Amino acid sequence: MKEKYIEFAEIFKTLGDPTRLQIINMICDCGCTKCAQNILVNLNITQPTLSYHMKMLEKVGLITSLKEKNSKSYKINNQIIDELKLFVSEIQVEKNLLICSNCNEKK
């Protein structure tokens, strides 16, 4: 189980960058593969900077890439997104089950 916490921590750390959050949102909004050039048009960054961010997102498994002739397309890894949603919802459920040891009130 500890490995899963380490994996999620890396994913959340990667998502801690506003540009990466914006990229994830763009790819999720389209619901399909998104060409790197189309992502770049909507961001105020250089192509090498985009490549860096995409490598970081791909490294933690949030996206997958498909190499085409002279470009790359990216797609959201829905399995990882679903796992993150479940993880966050479980945190909320566990929080609702907590009881304060000082006053025995449910918190």
Q: How far is it, in rounded angstroms, from Cα 30 to Cα 17?
A: 21
Sign of CA dihedral 22, 25, 29, 32: positive
Crossing angle of helices 18-30/47-59, nearest 10°? 80
Q: How far is CA 104 from the centre of its chain?
A: 37
Q: Which CATH number fits domain 2-77: 3.40.50.2000, 1.10.10.10, 1.20.58.1180, 2.60.120.10?
A: 1.10.10.10
- Condensed to tens digits (0 to 9), the pLDDT of residues 25-80 reads 999 887 788 899 999 999 989 999 999 999 999 999 999 999 988 889 999 999 99
pTM: 0.81
Which pLDDT score, from 0 to 100, does residue 97 have? Answer: 64
Nearest Cα residue to 27 out of 38, 13, 16, 17: 38
* Domain spans of the chain, in order of start: 2-77
Task: Report whether pLDDT(13) > 80.
Answer: yes
Joined tokens for residue 20: 């990466």
